[in-house]
Amino acid sequence: MATPLSEEHRESIENPETYWAKAADDCYWYKTCDKILDDSKKPFYKWFKGGITNTCFNALDLHINNGLGEQLALIYDSPVTDTIKQYTYNDLRDEVATFAGVLTDNGVTKGDRVVVYMPMIPEAAIAMLACARIGAVHSVVFGGFASKELATRIDDAKPKVIVSASCGIEVQKVIPYKPLLDEAINLADYKPDKSIILQRWMEKATMDPKRDVDWKDAMAVAIAQECVPIEATDPLYILYTSGTTGQPKGVVRDNGGHMVALKWSMKAVYDVDEGDVFWAASDVGWVVGHSYIVYGPLLKGCTTVLFEGKPVGTPDAGAFWRVISQHKVKTLFTAPTAFRAIKRDDPDAKFLKDYDISSFKALFLAGERSDPDTLKWAETNLKVPVIDHWWQTETGWAIAANCMGIEPLPVKYGSPTKAVPGWNLMVLDQDSQEVPDGDIGTLAVKLPLPPGTLPTLWKNDERFISAYLDEFPGYFTTSDAGFLDEEGYVYVMARTDDIINVAGHRLSTGAMEEILADHPDVAECAVLGVADQLKGQLPMGFLVLKAGASEDHGKIIKEVIASVRERIGPVAAFKIATVVQRLPKTRSGKILRGTIQKIADNEEWNMPATIDDPEILGEMEEVLVNMGYAGARK
């Protein structure tokens, strides 16, 4: 039987040009496009070919012209500096226009690249929007990223200017950025013309008078710039994501398709309207920060929250509830790992009782698999819909979600619900054939991809094809493994390299993690495959326990092993598990399973550039050695 969502999805796949033309009508164009979808150079599809627009105009000036100038556009909330600052649309537009003048004064013109290397402060968003205003291409690199990794990105993007700050703050620790930036420029073959540095009061950077420009001084003399008309197919930004070769991949996002898709998604997926307060608790260095801290909410005319803090420790596990209550947040989008941390420190949600969160209507989770136990904990305590959704840096917005603004569907734990309109999602075997419902395969999207996705990689069409399109001709591979059930619900079980082979049986580590996470004493967990001479691979589990959990770790381990045997069967061969204090993660919250696996298998490994705390890998190596496994550090 046809439903609102099934009808929208069908229309988007059968008549994509008509479908997305309607969404594009909600945006401002200096000139409408000549062709909605240009497929003349497959597989390099282009959306809204010939259209002229400006993303910054649509995010700021358009709302001011429509009478929303005094509405709040951005709330900066920083518990680490005890600062809250609010910007109306007028305020934010004026700051952005003036900083666009700073960029212009330092030689930046349309098409030039600008690297933004900043902490979670309003100036990071201002710099991004200022680039969009004048047609420059920004490339945001997570603040505090290692110098070597920053240098690699400088060499690839070749920025005319780098925008940075004197420091960032990690809970109570000040991280000086300027020495890292100076070392990166020294390491890089390509040298930017200028660095624009925001001096923060807690750490004053030493300036090089030949290259460095003081943000505040430059803003005082700059002339505000108007928006520059931009081709819809021109790049808006480059965002680097890790590559298996060690060379990061520069995901490109265009202006037109990105603007249309993100504005559409704010209502269709998140069910937010103009004037609502939307909070993505992420970082501008990640794709979530691009899509749903800076661009999506502002394109929709929402109020966006930019939070410089952590889910726990700034000051406690009630930090999120305080922000929701104080700023009347309607919708929160964060990573499951944030809620696991809150659940670990405050398993009974006692802090929640101190806050009025009556404004709060929905929680969205993404970034890694959302285990059912965390979803249920959030549902029970928050009493709002808790919605897992699935997407990637490359896609820019959700592939699968419970589209709350089209047709809310029943939640199935472990599933991000169904493919979003625009996404022709299939499950394929190694021969590019669709597999039956319930069978695990590679989740792939039939081309063309919808608007707002990556049209290619920066200056590297060949790698775009080899990384995403060659494996399944005619499809974009997500490199995620999973299945569809008989109702079309999507289940993302693991990265394809997290499917382990135990005595010829292909098993999902994600399915085992779900079972471990169900144990009442487990706050979070990871399962990975380690080498075994007899069976090829064996699963190994790592458990982080909740505050106040049983001190009988042996009993907990026996119980989770028994649960896996009961629910998956002896075929899983799950017999190895241990309790650890914490798991090594990237700054965006993803567990570094691949690195743990290399340590366990005694393979050479490198310290990941994205790691949140390098000391944790030393702890993990010690745990593995004590278990009879050894690590070889490269």
pLDDT, tens digit, 9 for 90 and up, residues 97-150: 999 999 999 999 999 999 999 999 999 999 999 999 999 999 999 887 788 889
pLDDT, position 123: 98
All CATH 3.40.50.12780 domain ranges of the chain, comma separated, are 4-309+389-482
- Predicted pLDDT of residue 242: 67
So what's the pLDDT on residue 505?
Answer: 61
Pick the CATH number of 4-309+389-482 from 3.40.50.1980, 3.40.50.12780, 3.40.1800.10, 3.10.450.50: 3.40.50.12780
Q: Which CATH architecture has domain 503-633?
A: 2-Layer Sandwich (3.30)
Residue 474: predicted pLDDT? 97
pLDDT at 618: 85
Please tell me the distance from the alpha carbon of residue 569 to that of residue 564, in angstroms, as a whole number: 7
Tell me the percentage of the chain whose pLDDT exceeds 70.
96
Residues 492-530 have pLDDT tens digits of 986 665 667 676 565 778 778 888 999 999 999 999 888
- Pairwise CA distance, residues 60 & 459, whole Å: 30
What are the backbone dihedrals phi and psi of residue 175, each rounded to the nearest 5 degrees, phi first? -110, 105
DSSP string, 248-307: PEEEEEESHHHHHHHHHHHHHTT---TT-EEEE-S-TTSHHHIIIIIIHHHHHT-EEEEE
In the chain, what is the greatest distance between 2 CA atoms, to the nearest angstrom? 71
**How many Cβ atoms are within 10 Å of 579's Cβ, its own excluded?**
18
- What predicted TM-score, i.e. pTM, was given to this entire model? 0.85
- SS (HEC) of 5-54: HHHHHHHHHHCHHHHHHHHHCCCCCCECCCEEEECCCCCCCEEEECCEEC
Distance CA 293, CA 535 (A): 46
What's residue 504's pLDDT? Answer: 56
Q: Which residues of the chain have pLDDT under 70?
A: 242-246, 494-499, 501, 503-506, 588, 630-634
Assess whether the previous peptide bond of 43 is cis (omega < 30° from 0). Answer: yes
Where in the chain are all domains bearing CATH 3.30.300.30?
503-633
The fraction of the chain above a pLDDT of 90, given in percent, is 76
Q: Using the 8-state DSSP alphabet, how is residue 180 labeled?
A: H
Site of tokens 């597989």: 43
